[in-house]
Structure 1
Amino acid sequence: MTIYQFSAQRIDGSTQSLADFRGQVLLIVNVASMCGLAPQYAGLEQLYRRYRDQGFTVLGFPSNQFMQEPRNNEAIAEFCERTYQVTFPLFAKIDVNGPNEHPLFTYLKTQLPGLFGSTAIKWNFTKFLVDRNGKPYRRYAPTDLPSQIEDDIVLLLRQQPKSLSA
């Protein structure tokens, strides 16, 4: 199984298959605009702009499960664009834990458990790096800055996907 079996609603209401990102290195992040870690949006955007032409994409998934994202999707998109000039794909607000969690996050948490084997996401800006074959590679803590992930991104960008048709 890979992340390509999943789809999600974009922040504009359209549905996007993650298979559309086949062959790319992905950084999947649960984000929240009113979180103290929100300045990480700038670092995520910087990574996206630096490596997008090499096959890298950041996917932002807003969540209000930690009470830091009360805005609606339209207001989230406006905030991210105005405050941090975000151009990477943003998705509609989701749950990342619990009975209504998005299946993508169920999969990511199962493949890459957190500290002491916990599958729960403990806070906003938990990050999952996915290789060019759609396989989860590494999980990063909310306090891990985007710049601290750059070496792993570069490493994965150097690897070619096994098959773009699978």
Structure 2
Amino acid sequence: MLGTPLAAHAADCAALFDTQVRKLHSKDNLDLCALTRNQPTLVINTASRCGYTGQFKGLESLHQRYKDEGLVIIGFPSDDFRQELDDEAETAKVCYINYGVTFPMAATSKVKGDGAHSVFKALAEGSEAPGWNFNKYLVSADGQSIRHFPASAKPLGGALEEAIKAALQTPISGQ
């Protein structure tokens, strides 16, 4: 692996995604390298009891609209802002049943500070740490660029969706 967190290694995996995370309310793991390889990826820190929780609907619409073009979306529930449920089964119910989320959701994770998950440490290094729930990070397919969008950025019809469209049109470096 190369020295910077955004560099890609020989497997065409952005270094920040060269890890596995446990799936939400599951014993199974998500191989983020395999999931994101050469794909623009949107990473979101989520919470079940936040004023922005309704964004799950828009995020799921983004997923349905752009998944066949290569967009990967990964949600990371977090209680760092004290708005996530203590029971992962309840968090899963909010995501999967209440909002119909079909994109991958990781197990509840820390997203800021020294104990942050390695993905969020790399995102903070490449842009900024989340200041609240539902921060959105668009990572280019080659892992060389990270665009941060605040919690208030709507999933559909704004700057985030325009950036996703552009990322889907951008060829991967070296190919």
TM-score, normalization by structure 1:
0.88
Higher helix content, 1 or 2: 1
1:6 aligns with 2:19: yes
Residue 83 of structure 2: aligned partner: 68
- Equivalent residue letter for 1:15: N
Per-residue CA deviations over 1:98-126 (Å, capped at 9, x if unaligned) read 2211011001010112xxxxxx3210001
Task: Sort the Cα spacing of 1:136 and 1:13 in 2 relative to 1 into closer, same or farther, 3 A.
Answer: farther
Displacement after TM superposition at 1:161 (Å) = 2.2
For residues 63 and 90 of structure 1, the distance between their equivalents in structure 2, rounded to whole angstroms, comes to: 11
In structure 1, C-alpha distance between the alignment counterparts of 2:70 and 2:62, rounded to whole Å: 12
Residue identity matched to 1:161: I
Aligned partners of 2:17 and 2:80: how far apart in 1?
A: 25
Corresponding residue of 2:32: 18
Instruction: State the 1:134 CA deviation.
Output: 2.4
Would the alpha carbon gap of residues 27 and 46 (structure 1) be closer, same or farther in structure 2, given more than 3 Å must change?
A: same
Does residue 141 in structure 1 map to residue 150 in structure 2?
Answer: yes
Superposed, 1:39-118 pairs within 5 Å as: 39-113=54-128
Q: Say what the alpha-carbon RMSD is for the aligned residues.
A: 1.5
For structure 2, which runs of at least 5 residues remain unmatched after alignment?
Answer: 1-6, 8-13
Report which stretch shifted further, 89-98 or 5-14: 5-14
Output the CA distance in 2 between the equivalents of 1:163 and 1:49.
Answer: 29
Q: 1:130 aligns with which of 126, 135, 139?
A: 139
Q: Report what 2:53 is aligned to.
A: 38
Secondary structure, in 3 states, of the residue corresponding to 1:150? helix
Structure 2 CA distance for aligned equivalents of residues 27 and 129 of structure 1: 5
Structure 1: runs of 5+ lacking an equivalent: 114-119
One-letter amino acid matched to 1:61: F
What's the TM-score, normalizing by structure 2?
0.84
Aligned to 1:152: 163
Answer whether contact 1:108 1:136 (CA < 8 A) is retained.
Answer: no
Among all aligned residue pairs of Structure 1 and Structure 2, give the percentage whose two residues are the same amino acid: 32
Q: What amino acid sits opposite 1:123 in the alignment? A: W
Cα displacement string for residues 79-102 of structure 1 (whole angstroms, at most 9, x for unaligned residues): 212211110100000011122110
Segment of structure 1 superposing worse, 79-88 or 42-51 = 79-88
